[in-house]
Structure 1
């Protein structure tokens, strides 16, 4: 029981470090994401510096030009449009630097709950609520797949069809825990690279 708890905790720690990639990759696309938050601060202060960390050195000139344009725009409606254009340009450049696609800014509040909690935990300086959330999700995921394959295991030799049902459940079960373990060991890819480094499928 203690070993299981340690395993789940290590998986949670991994999720905190490497993130849940399909969700995290979209996080930067939201209007309340960290990139746009820093962009708002930069515009408010009239200083582009806070957003430069989100882009590569080669893109700084483009970002500075877009920032200057947004800052110089007059008129409330025109300014809002210019700011939104700057946000989009900044996020697009940030995503391109990661080799990830950009399909437009997403509304505020559209980020996954676990990512919102990850940000909140960082701001609060308290990772415990996030660890608890991830622990619960991981435990549930393992338990559900285990129950399914354990049931199929009891009937796998009754017929070819039952055997195939077991194999399907077994592959899903082992792939799931393998991905978790690879993440825990720091082998997970970042953002758009996860497919490239995904574990090979078992051959049965």
Structure 2
């Protein structure tokens, strides 16, 4: 009965975290990828000549730098196809580097298209594309259930140690601490987003 109550609470928590994630804005854990939203926006900006398409991806203090790079890129694009290709890529690098710096994340280069981002990022983008959040909520619920549920069972299995079994008690404490830390991290993640301070959480999530 207790375990069922735990899984129900975990399900509610996962659904809540999904709603908060979507409210915070589009997923951009793949912001450094060729097929990611930042470079897609950059390509659209260059093709239309509208820098505003990319300014949303950088901090206000960095907008002047991006505007300058954008103007220079448009000028070089006019020279020839090879110059256009090189100028575009240079602009992509500048934009991604500045975007990640604004998140507190390191720049590790432009990443190839089609890389494995894990199921959460894919499901997050899919939810935004389709307008249906339930599949994403289900995925997060299953992930929380698997993680917390497994730790919960481990703690229950180890808590009935004999008072003189110090080694057994230590195993229990190790399992208990890991379990509590996991629960606390999940709860704090939703608290951070609920208070609107999504940047710090986003920065750590994007470093991959």
Say yes or no: does 1:114 pair with 2:120.
yes
Name the CA distance, whole Å, in 1 between partners of 2:162 and 2:150.
18
Deviation at 1:122? 0.6
Say yes or no: does 1:13 pair with 2:13.
no
Q: Pick the aligned partner of 2:104 from 99, 107, 113.
A: 99
Q: Pick the aligned partner of 2:47 from 34, 44, 47.
A: 44
Name the CA distance, whole Å, in 1 between partners of 2:63 and 2:55.
7
Q: Counterpart of 2:202?
A: 191
Q: Counterpart of 1:181?
A: 187
What is the aligned length?
190
Q: Counterpart of 1:84?
A: 89
Name the CA distance, whole Å, in 1 between partners of 2:31 and 2:204.
16
Name the CA distance, whole Å, in 1 between partners of 2:170 and 2:54.
53
Name the CA distance, whole Å, in 2 between partners of 1:180 and 1:50.
34
CA contact (8 A) 1:15 1:184 kept: no
- TM value normalised by structure 1: 0.81
Deviation at 1:169? 0.8
Deviation at 1:50? 0.6
Name the CA distance, whole Å, in 1 between partners of 2:181 and 2:5.
23
Cα distance change, pair 155–92 in 1 and its aligned pair in 2 (3 A): same
Q: Deviations over 1:116-136 (max 9, x none)?
A: 211111111111111111111
Deviation at 1:26? 4.1
Segments of 5+ residues of structure 2 without an aligned counterpart are none
Q: Counterpart of 1:58?
A: 61
Say yes or no: does 1:71 pair with 2:74.
yes
Cα distance change, pair 30–119 in 1 and its aligned pair in 2 (3 A): same
Segments of 5+ residues of structure 1 without an aligned counterpart are 195-204
Q: Counterpart of 1:149?
A: 155
Cα distance change, pair 126–59 in 1 and its aligned pair in 2 (3 A): same
Q: Counterpart of 1:33?
A: 36
Name the CA distance, whole Å, in 2 between partners of 1:94 and 1:164.
45
Cα distance change, pair 57–192 in 1 and its aligned pair in 2 (3 A): closer
